[in-house]
Structure 1
Amino acid sequence: MLDLRLYMAQRLSALVMVPLVLGHIAVMIYAIQGGLSTAEILGRTQGSLLWFLFYGSFVIAVSVHAAIGLRVIAHEWGGQKGRTLDGLMWAVGAGLLALGARAVLAVTLP
């Protein structure tokens, strides 16, 4: 049952990530072609609830997706099982979430 829940969580996180990745790429293309400086980009993102929610959702989805994917790899290639496997998944997920949250806060806090 756990495998089915993890499978579904990874697929749902992928569904959330698709529009966010496309949005992020579109924003990056706009910024590069517009010749925006870092200061101009931060001027637009800092203090914005919309950008906080956009990139915050992105970080959560990536953290879930990557942690489950690495869990599968650790099991299939590394032979990890049980608590070691679960601990690895939770550590990777928490680490990605912490790093991503720090980046989101740096870009969106005024």
Structure 2
Amino acid sequence: MSARMQVRLWLWQRISAALLAPLVLIHLGTIIYAVHAGLSAAAILGRLHGNLWFGGFYALFVLACAVHAPIGVAKMAEEWLGWRGARVTSLAAVFALLLLAGGLRAVYGVVLS
């Protein structure tokens, strides 16, 4: 992998991390609020259904995760398993697509269906 590509991946991972930090804090705050309010799973799902703000929030969360995590997984495969080239690129791409598809499917299922 070229030095230029490594810099780009480093930059994308840092940008996604900067985005994920407040999203994770908001997500955890929402969980704490729901637990302290004594909300059931049905009540939570009822509040989220049709709420486009939450849908957009969690879609952004999924997109940031789908950028951030595969870059880290690829780097771990390079360092720990010694994988290089197309093998590590394919691993990262498949992982990104799984995160994206699964996450967006969950957002759709909770908010829109």
Q: 2:27 & 2:73 partners in 1: Cα distance? A: 23
Deviation at 1:38, TM superposition (A): 1.4
Partner of 1:89: 92
Report deviation, 1:50: 0.3
Q: Distance in 2 between matches of 1:99 and 1:21?
A: 18
Q: Which residue of 1 aligns with 2:26?
A: 23
1:80 aligned counterpart, secondary structure: coil
Matching of residues 8-87 of structure 1 within 5 Å: 8-87=11-90
Selected match of 2:107 from 104, 107, 110: 104
CA deviation map 1:58-108 (0-9, x unaligned)? 011111111000000000111111111111110001011111111111111
Answer with 41-50 or 22-31: which moved more: 41-50
In 1, the alpha carbon distance for the partners of 2:21 and 2:111 equals 22
Aligned to 2:10: 7
Q: Superposition RMSD on alpha carbons, in Å?
A: 0.8
| Ranges of 4+ aligned residues in structure 1 off by more than 3 Å | none
- Tell me the TM-score normalized by structure 1: 0.96
TM-score, normalised relative to structure 2: 0.94
Q: What runs of 5+ residues in structure 2 fail to find an aligned partner?
A: none
Superposition deviation, residue 11 in structure 1: 0.4
Distance in 2 (CA, whole Å) between partners of 1:40 and 1:91 is 35
| CA deviation profile, 1:31-71 (whole Å, cap 9, x unmatched) | 00000011211111111110011000001111111100000
2:64 maps to a residue whose letter is A
Give the share of equivalent positions with the same residue, in percent: 45
Cα distance in structure 1, aligned partners of 2:100 and 2:107: 10
